[in-house]
């Protein structure tokens, strides 16, 4: 027990531990890593990086698990979308990536000893989270992308649509911040 404690005390003081696991990466480090990994994503899966579209598929799979069918839904009506759904979650690169993001984030916070289950402060916070989540999720689907699929992947593929999305998301963020400060704080 005493030896273990000594070991972890030493790890805490280690400069490489502090640099790589404890302190947050700089924006530049993060940007370089994201760029390299999104090139790897495009090369290996044939599709640019996206996050929120995956959740629509998860929703469809859950709905199908309960006996529902999304064949007639406009969103899933294309042959491509149907093929992805029929292939299942195990053969869906985006699902694996999102699961990886969730477990990676957990691992990062555990390695930095910063894991904490946060309290819910008040009902306003709950309302803001649900309302914000619904708006973001719905908005991302009718825009065919979120800040990753439409903005990040759009701009990095030299597509004009990414820049149009940037204008939209920036104005939305300004309005959203005002609403947050005014009604939910």
Partner 1 sequence: MAKEIIIDSLGEACPVPLVKAQNAIKEMEIGDVLIVQIDHSCAMKNLPEWARKDGHNVEVEEVDDGEWEVIIEKAK
Summarize as ranges the residues that interact with partner 1 (CB under 8 A).
24, 109, 113-116, 118-121, 125, 177, 180-181, 185
- Closer to partner 1 by Cβ: residue 26 or 44: 26
- Closer to partner 1 by Cβ: residue 23 or 77: 23
Encode the chain in three state secondary structure: CHHHHHHHHHHHHCHHHHHHHHCCCCHHHHHHHHHHHHHHHHHHHCCCCCCHHHHHHHHHHHHHHCCCCCCCCHHHCCHHHHHHHHHCHHHCHHHHHHHHHHHHHHHHHHHCCCCCCCCCCCHHHHHHHHHHHHHHHHHHHHCCCCHHHHHHHHHHCCCHHHHHHHHHHHHHHHHHHHHHHHHCC
Smallest gap from Cβ 157 to partner 1, in A, equals 28
Q: How far apart are CA 155 and CA 157, in angstroms?
A: 5
- Closer to partner 1 by Cβ: residue 72 or 118: 118
Smallest gap from Cβ 35 to partner 1, in A, equals 21
Q: How far apart are CA 47 and CA 102, in angstroms?
A: 20
Smallest gap from Cβ 72 to partner 1, in A, equals 38
- Closer to partner 1 by Cβ: residue 163 or 183: 183
- Closer to partner 1 by Cβ: residue 16 or 27: 27
Smallest gap from Cβ 113 to partner 1, in A, equals 5
Angle between the N-to-C axes of helices 27-45 and 93-111, in degrees from 0 to 180, rounded to the nearest 10: 150
Smallest gap from Cβ 169 to partner 1, in A, equals 16
- Closer to partner 1 by Cβ: residue 72 or 182: 182
Q: How far apart are CA 140 and CA 168, in angstroms?
A: 12
Smallest gap from Cβ 95 to partner 1, in A, equals 26
């Amino acid at each position: 027990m005493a030896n273990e404690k000594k070991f972890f005390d030493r790890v805490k003081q280690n400069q490489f531990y502090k640099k790589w696991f404890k302190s947050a990466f700089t924006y530049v480090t993060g940007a370089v890593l994201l760029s390299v990994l999104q090139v790897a994503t495009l090369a290996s899966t044939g599709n640019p990086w996206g996050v929120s579209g995956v959740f629509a598929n998860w929703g469809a799979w859950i709905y199908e698990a309960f006996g529902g069918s999304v064949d007639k839904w406009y969103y899933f009506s294309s042959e491509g979308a149907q093929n992805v759904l029929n292939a299942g979650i195990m053969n869906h690169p985006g699902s694996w990536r999102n699961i990886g993001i969730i477990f990676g984030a957990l691992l990062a916070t555990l390695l930095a000893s910063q894991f904490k289950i946060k309290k819910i402060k008040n009902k306003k916070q709950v309302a803001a989270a649900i309302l914000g989540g619904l708006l973001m999720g719905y908005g991302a689907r009718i825009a065919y992308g979120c800040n990753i699929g439409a903005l990040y992947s759009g701009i990095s593929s030299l597509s004009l649509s990414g820049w149009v999305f940037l204008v939209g998301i920036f104005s939305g963020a300004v309005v959203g911040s005002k609403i947050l400060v005014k009604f939910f704080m």
